[in-house]
């Protein structure tokens, strides 16, 4: 895509339109409360969370994209000033609250930016998102897919999140006299915490900013900042460490649970990969595993493929694994001003059996 026209999760460059996939810190680097470069498009949930993340942000610069509803944009080519007509649609990426993919169609070709995503084959929300994406595509061939390649390696094979959640509940169940400490980010894994709260009919402790986020997400009554009310705590990932757990364990039997895709990391020095007597790692990931990434590419059969995570520990160009799943196009793959819409010769289908 022509530089300077559309920026997705990039905040340090001039662009005619800016798009935020979700509010995780690695996607908002360079975005601040005094943002003034231009209009920023995001999902309704991200917009609702925005003031708490960026107090004082000029909310008139926020443009909310309803999920699955295309919005037309008028841009101007930087090379020749010609008008460019683009339609953008936000699609649920099922990664964390408010997270979306962006589908761009029109004079820049058909480009899908997946953002961080997890579409498990058994997940109802993901199934609906897939259906929406195919409806909006309407048979258009995807020219370029920007893909979440966080776990783009066959070594990363982990279970769906509902299975991993049951594993966490089982660990808590097997340690009825322990304080349980769970490491989480500032956003994401709410479903896991809700399931734990419901399974044990107890509130889960969270830190004050996290409680505010829970309330903004409409999750009331299951979370508390009162330590005396519960033995289960969700603490920030950055303060989750063996040293913290050892200190807590010296006061009261304590067990840490780290729900993360990272245990599969091949890096031997990664401390999540090295088991500690007080830490249980559960393979609960908000990113797609390799099989799910392959399913996604197979569904769309793009002409071109690019990874969005260049610094991934296991990074290999997704093309290396998925070129055989991509669609060879006889026409140019970057139709700046196409005279007619190209249609996919392989019509993507969605399975009604949700396989
Ligand atoms: Zn993320």
For residue 309, what is the domain's CATH number?
3.60.15.10
126 shares its domain with 261: no
197 shares its domain with 321: no
330 within domain boundaries = no
How many angstroms does the Cα of residue 199 sit away from the middle of ligand 1? 26
Cα torsion for 262, 265, 269, 275, to the nearest 10°?
A: 60
* pLDDT number for residue 159: 93
How many angstroms does the Cα of residue 187 sit away from the middle of ligand 1? 9
User: HEC states along 148-209?
Assistant: CCCCCCCCCCCCCHHHHHHHHHHHHHCCCCCEEEEEECCCCCHHHHHHHHHHHCCCEECCHH
332 within domain boundaries = no
137 within domain boundaries = yes
How many angstroms does the Cα of residue 153 sit away from the middle of ligand 1? 18
Q: What is the pTM of this model?
A: 0.88
Residue 150 CA to residue 287 CA, distance in Å, equals 7
* pLDDT number for residue 312: 52
How many angstroms does the Cα of residue 339 sit away from the middle of ligand 1? 37
How many angstroms does the Cα of residue 24 sit away from the middle of ligand 1? 5
29 within domain boundaries = yes
- Give the angle 53-56-57 at the CA atoms, nearest 5°: 70
Distances (CA, A) of 301 to 105, 135, 141, 324: 16, 16, 8, 9
61 shares its domain with 172: no
A 10 A CB-CB count for 121 gives 15
Residue 92 CA to residue 262 CA, distance in Å, equals 23
145 shares its domain with 262: no
* pLDDT number for residue 328: 75
How many angstroms does the Cα of residue 188 sit away from the middle of ligand 1? 8
Structural domain count of the chain: 2
How many angstroms does the Cα of residue 340 sit away from the middle of ligand 1? 35
CATH code, domain with 272 = 3.40.50.12650
Residue pair 131/53 in contact (Cβ under 8 Å)? The answer is no
How many angstroms does the Cα of residue 148 sit away from the middle of ligand 1? 10
DSSP H or E run through 88: strand 83-92
1 within domain boundaries = no
52 shares its domain with 34: yes
* Structural domain harbouring 203: 161-282
Low-confidence ranges of the chain (pLDDT < 50): 264-273, 330-340, 345-355
88 within domain boundaries = yes
How many angstroms does the Cα of residue 305 sit away from the middle of ligand 1? 20
Examine the fold and report which residue of 224, 248, 282 is the final residue of a domain before the chain moves on.
282
18 shares its domain with 149: yes
How many angstroms does the Cα of residue 322 sit away from the middle of ligand 1? 23
How many angstroms does the Cα of residue 335 sit away from the middle of ligand 1? 30
Summary count for the chain: helices (H), strands (E): 8, 16
Distances (CA, A) of 289 to 156, 264, 286, 342: 6, 10, 9, 31
Examine the fold and report which residue of 251, 282, 313 is the final residue of a domain before the chain moves on.
282
38 within domain boundaries = yes
A 10 A CB-CB count for 251 gives 8
73 shares its domain with 213: no
* Chain segment 210-248, per-residue pLDDT in tens: 999 999 999 999 999 999 999 999 999 989 988 899 999
How many angstroms does the Cα of residue 341 sit away from the middle of ligand 1? 32
Closest C-alpha among 103, 107, 23, 106 to residue 62: 23
19 shares its domain with 114: yes
Examine the fold and report which residue of 254, 282, 310 is the final residue of a domain before the chain moves on.
282
176 shares its domain with 38: no
87 shares its domain with 11: yes
148 shares its domain with 297: yes
How many angstroms does the Cα of residue 275 sit away from the middle of ligand 1? 25
204 within domain boundaries = yes
38 shares its domain with 55: yes
How many angstroms does the Cα of residue 116 sit away from the middle of ligand 1? 5
How many angstroms does the Cα of residue 330 sit away from the middle of ligand 1? 35
How many angstroms does the Cα of residue 26 sit away from the middle of ligand 1? 7
């Amino acid at each position: 895509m022509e530089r300077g026209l559309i920026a997705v999760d990039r905040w340090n460059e001039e662009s005619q339109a800016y798009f935020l996939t979700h509010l995780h810190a690695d996607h908002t680097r360079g975005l601040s409360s005094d943002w003034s470069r231009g209009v920023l498009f995001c999902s309704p949930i991200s917009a609702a969370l925005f003031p708490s993340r960026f107090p004082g942000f000029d909310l008139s610069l926020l443009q909310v994209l309803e999920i699955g509803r295309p919005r037309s944009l008028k841009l101007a080519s930087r090379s020749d000033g010609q008008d460019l007509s683009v339609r953008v649609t936000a699609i649920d990426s099922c990664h964390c609250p408010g997270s979306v993919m962006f589908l761009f169609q029109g004079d820049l070709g058909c480009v899908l930016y997946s953002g961080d995503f997890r579409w498990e084959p058994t997940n109802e929300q993901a199934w609906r998102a897939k259906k929406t994406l195919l409806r909006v595509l309407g048979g258009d061939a995807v020219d370029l897919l920007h893909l979440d390649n966080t776990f783009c390696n066959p070594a990363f094979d982990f279970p769906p999140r509902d299975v991993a959640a049951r594993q966490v509940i089982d660990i808590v169940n097997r340690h009825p006299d322990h304080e349980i400490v769970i490491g989480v980010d500032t956003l994401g894994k709410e479903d896991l915490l809700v399931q734990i709260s419901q399974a044990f009919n107890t509130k889960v402790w969270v830190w004050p900013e996290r409680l505010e986020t829970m309330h903004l997400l409409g999750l009331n009554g299951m979370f508390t900042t009162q330590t005396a009310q519960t033995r289960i705590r969700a603490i920030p990932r950055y303060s989750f460490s063996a040293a913290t757990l050892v200190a807590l364990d010296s006061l009261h039997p304590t067990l840490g649970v780290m729900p993360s895709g990272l245990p599969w990391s091949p890096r031997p020095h990664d401390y999540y990969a090295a088991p500690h007597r007080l830490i249980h790692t559960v393979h609960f990931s908000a990113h797609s595993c390799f099989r799910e990434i392959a399913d996604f590419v197979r569904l769309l059969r793009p002409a071109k493929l690019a990874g969005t995570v260049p610094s991934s520990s296991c990074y290999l160009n997704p093309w290396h694994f998925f070129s055989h799943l991509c669609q060879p196009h006889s026409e140019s793959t970057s139709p700046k001003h196409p005279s007619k819409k190209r249609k996919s010769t392989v019509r993507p289908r969605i399975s009604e059996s949700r396989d």
